[in-house]
Amino acid sequence: MLKVPKGMTLVVGLGISGRAICRHLSRQGVPYMVADTRAVPPGVDDFHAAHPGVEMHCGPLTSLDLSEVEEVVLSPGIGPSTPGLAELAGRVREATGDPLVVGEIALFVRACRAPIAAITGSNAKSTVTTLLGEMAREAGRRVAVGGNLGTPALDLLHDEPHADCYVLELSSFQLETTPRLGAETAAFLNLSEDHLDRHGDMAGYRAAKLAIFRGARHGVVNAEDPMTWPLERLPAQDRFTTRAPQAGEWGIAIHAGGDWLMHGDTPLMPVAEMRLAGRHNHANALAALAMGRHLALPMDAMCRVLRRFTGLTHRGEVVAEVDGVRWVNDSKGTNVGAALAAIAGLGPTLDGQLILLAGGMGKGADFSPLAEPLARYGREAILFGLDAERLQKALRGAVRMTLVEDLEMAMARAQAIAEPGDCVLLSPACASLDQFANYQERGEVFRRWVCRLASEDSP
């Protein structure tokens, strides 16, 4: 058994975040070694070239003696209950009293000297993170954006050390190993079934997400989803809703003959002026506005961003409108909650009906929640991939359905049946690995097909 020397930090996991942890510890002058549960992690030679002399252990963590380790820092992909680590649960560092096992964000919090704005949720966190970052830039702030999205948080400290604010997307994996985030403003957008293989059940998943509020000075929660509400009282809190807001809430109400984004009874801007489509994206905008207001960002600057922001690629992205039919790429909708948000968000805004393209690897999910909104808004569900028949069974009686072999056949079917005012929505509610390398490839296939369709339609 290999003994980790006394006073040595152990970094577990050699992925993107693990390497960022190593770079950070090297800059800090902290002695460390690395462990990876894989026998031959990708990029080992590159790691040794970048960090000569750093010892590496590959294989089960149970073959390490951690009795005198200074601290264990986990990459997000490594759970605290991994064999070899579980016995360290509850132990603290003698010098500081901090937990012995932490993650990358705990190191970030120790070193960060600027306010943190943090966003989590089962869905839409990338959109809100990006929106808030753009709003801060529009207001003239020096802002650094990353975390689970884009640049790892620890690299942001090095790349943008003089930022006025750090805007971080944080996953449940990152939050469960963060003892105290201490965010200036923290948002929990929504909660739906996901990552139960890691967290055990919905209670465990929610508990990990709620860690975003530890030490927060301001919270933003979903008024329509009590599972996002913190268990403890925060110094300040805002709520957003897609309904007419109560006093102090952020919501949507009729004003001057149309739907407006509102703060209480104060109108902010017409929903029709937003480039983002769907009620779910209107909710995302409201969450970003609530966080931005706490950060003292001018409302006119934030609304300018909402008037031009078209969304992130593969996340509710409006690719084109052809013959009065809107084609929306939501390939990142890899779980039922994401697809549900897209269907329920877009449905009420359409003059026509929704044509859903769904299917892939369902990961054992319960698809039945999709039935009710599809019964209300759907023209047809076109199903493809490994779990198409499971989807068909869950949606039976709710909407007309067609099973096809792959995504391209699904798009051809959608084109054949779509009518002006309709929306063709790729929001698969499934992972893509049965037919694609990842959700990005699936989304690119959709985008290219629709762009060809649009070019053929052009005069």
Contact 368, 393 (CB under 8 A): no
How many other CB atoms sit within 10 Å of the CB of residue 246?
A: 12
Amino acid identity of residue 230, one-letter, is P
Catalytic residue among 6, 48, 57, 195: 195
Minimal CA–CA distance to 133: which of 124, 121, 122, 146? 146
Helix (H) / strand (E) containing 64 = strand 64-65
Q: What CA–CA distance (Å, rounded) separates 87 from 66?
A: 10
CA dist 145 → 74, 163, 169, 181, 258 (Å): 22, 10, 8, 16, 34
Catalytic residue among 125, 209, 263, 280: 125
Helix (H) / strand (E) containing 221 = strand 219-222
Q: What DSSP designation does 217 have?
A: S
Q: What DSSP designation does 7 have?
A: T
Q: What CA–CA distance (Å, rounded) separates 183 from 169?
A: 12
Is 125 annotated in the active site?
Answer: yes
CA dist 91 → 34, 66, 99, 179, 314 (Å): 20, 12, 6, 13, 42
Tokens of residue 396, six digits: 């039976």
Catalytic residue among 123, 148, 281, 335: 148
Is 195 annotated in the active site?
Answer: yes
* Residue 444 C-beta-side C-alpha neighbours within 13 Å: 6
Q: What CA–CA distance (Å, rounded) separates 296 from 166?
A: 15
Q: At what angle do helices 279-294 and 125-138 cross, to 10 degrees?
A: 50
Catalytic amino acids? 125, 148, 195
